[in-house]
Amino acid sequence: MRVLIVEDEALVALELEELLLDESFEVVGSAANAAQAIDLGRRHRPGLALLDLNLADGQTGPRIAKTLVHERLATVVFVTGQANLLPSDLHGAFGVIEKPCVGRAMVEALRFLSSYLCGKATKTAAPPVLRIASSTQQ
């Protein structure tokens, strides 16, 4: 599965990229702001975008999520330490993983997302670390 990382903290983005590569995901790119994220999304059409809420250009995560979902470029999952700031519909995103989430918990979430997006799992099988949006249409 092709994944776009949208994270402005370089070390966090690098750790996430290494984890994804270890799990055989293809990382199409990493973006630190809205313009980069939307550009990479449009160019690569990833199956999944892991998106921080606050980026180098402010709290632009919701705008990025709406664009990626509306243009059907990616399924969006927020990865943020401020999940409490997101509405229950998560701005159209599929779900949210609250930071810090590392190692085994993140691997379980990524494996679930891969299975779900390939039609091999149901939402009820989601690991506890992944909160699914109340109005997910995907």
Per-residue model confidence as pLDDT tens digits over 94-128: 888 887 766 788 888 888 888 888 878 777 778 87
Question: Which pLDDT value is given to residue 84?
Answer: 72
Per-residue model confidence as pLDDT tens digits over 54-73: 898 988 888 999 999 999 99
What does the domain layout of the chain look like in residue ranges? 2-132
- Find all residues with CB under 8 Å of 27, minimum gap 6, and list them: 2, 3, 4, 5, 17, 20, 21
Determine contact, residues 5/16, Cβ cutoff 8 Å: yes
Domain 2-132 coded CATH 3.40.50.2300: yes
Reported pTM: 0.85
